[in-house]
Amino acid sequence: MPKMFGTDGVRGLANKDLTARLALDLGDAAVRVLGDAGTQDDQPEGRRRALVGRDTRVSGDFLASALAAGMSAGGFDVIDAGIIPTPGVAYLTSVLNVEMGAVISASHNPMPDNGIKFFARGGFKLPDEKEDEIEAVLGQDWERPTGAGVGRVSHDQTTATNLYIDHLVSTIAPLNDDQTQPKPLKGLKIVADCANGATSVVAPEALRRAGADVIVINASPDGYNINKNAGSTHPEQLQAMVKATDAVMGVAFDGDADRCLAVDEDGNMVNGDQIMGILARAKKREGKLNHDTLVVTVMSNLGLKLALKDMGIKTVETSVGDRYVLEEMLKGGYSLGGEQSGHVINREFATTGDGTLTALTLCNEVVKSGKSLKELAADFPQLPQTLINVPNVDKMAASTNPRIQAAVKHEEELLGDSGRVLLRPSGTEPLVRVMAEAATQAYADEVCTRLAKIVAEELAL
């Protein structure tokens, strides 16, 4: 049987792969693994609590109800926070003294999909072992509580949202002694593309409270339009709007707002690597970049690493996936890390990638530096990159095939310090991703094409 939990929880087509019954069973299993739902004399000593939030997909309604039902039937009191970004659930899980949090979202995926992922006490994503334990007890019978032992479900979206917004704004604008709110972004005209997703209320409000003049697009979720030609996966509308309104920059979120990409005043994209570079340099300047190190994945552009090296900032590489970035950050005590896709983990303020937090801190650095986003991003030039997916191959043999390894070594010798190559097997399909970076686009194309041809010849199924 394939594993139910993937790299980011349980995902699938809502009401086909991810059903109400499965959500109920996941809630039931999670309370057994992540907390003690037992009772004494029908009256628990200190109720166990869980927090549930979701993005704007229409299927989130029935999945949230089913998940909360499974948890409350297992003896947990459930706080339903309604529509709230994934990092909002992580934050609230860390401060509300709940045993666990759960998010119903498929992030940047199309609307028909959905997913469920859990956060342990403290707001951290579950390690693989805990997900395996939940899967192992899924659907099993056990002695469920009765009477006063069963849990309640309460709904309080307003309080949850306001607590989270307060936290976000405080990261760049801590309250003054007289409890007034500073406005560090005053006069900054920006466009925010909320992808008709979970941050449609949170991001505009947080940016405005910090003083920004915000033009908001794609913040009218109807249950069906999440990520549809909007947000970080479709930034064209944002690019056009920044130029049309003479804004100084734009920010784009995905459906659950755990990632953020940006656009400069000319409508050019500023990707996650460049954002991480800007924020890493700012943290180093302020003495807050632990060990003067940024944690990145193998997909981060060599241009970022070379630029950071010149600034005295080291990089540590992990496998692709923000969970692996966080694991490395916790292991090494690092304070900043992320992915080219715009997942940025700022451990000073968050336990997971937070798109709205990234937008606030990026805007704050534009103001503090006195430079435009275009000027800041120019300090982190991206080497031309080519990526070719080679399908229908024995993906696991890429790392052991002698001809392929010899070809990789040859190309690396030719590139020297001016580029690199990477062969990465897909996690879900029988294909190998071949990537090359070089000083020119033409050379990157040549290298990538040569390697892809050899991979196809040697590993064809």
Neighbour-count burial for 193-223, b at 16+ CB within 10 Å, e otherwise: bbbbbbbbbbbbbbbbbbbbebbbbbbebee
348 CB neighbour count, 10 Å cutoff = 13
Integer-rounded Cα radius of gyration of the chain = 23
Q: What is the 3-state secondary structure (H, E, C) of 111-165?
A: CCEEEEEEEECCCEECCHHHHHHHHHHCCCCCCCCCHHHCCCEEECHHHHHHHHH
Closest of 301, 297, 225, 293 to residue 269, by C-alpha: 301
Is the Cβ–Cβ distance between 223 and 166 less than 8 Å?
Answer: no
| Residue 32: strand, helix, or coil | helix
DSSP 8-state code for residue 182: P
136 CB neighbour count, 10 Å cutoff = 10
Angstrom distance (rounded) from CA 86 to CA 199: 9
Residue count (the chain): 461
124 CB neighbour count, 10 Å cutoff = 18
Structure tokens at 169: 């704004």
The catalytic residue positions are 107
Structure tokens at 264: 């400069």
Amino acid letter at 180? T
Structure tokens at 200: 């449609």
Angstrom distance (rounded) from CA 290 to CA 105: 32
| Residue 286: strand, helix, or coil | coil
Beta bridge partners of 336: 346
Angstrom distance (rounded) from CA 188 to CA 152: 44
Angstrom distance (rounded) from CA 378 to CA 266: 13
Is the Cβ–Cβ distance between 115 and 105 less than 8 Å?
Answer: yes
Q: Is 256 annotated as a binding residue?
A: yes
Helical axes 402-415 vs 441-459, angle rounded to 10°: 170
Is the Cβ–Cβ distance between 164 and 91 less than 8 Å?
Answer: yes
Is the Cβ–Cβ distance between 393 and 291 less than 8 Å?
Answer: no
Q: Is 107 annotated as a binding residue?
A: yes
Residue positions in the annotated binding site?
107, 254, 256, 258
Residue positions in the annotated binding site for Mg(2+)?
107, 254, 256, 258
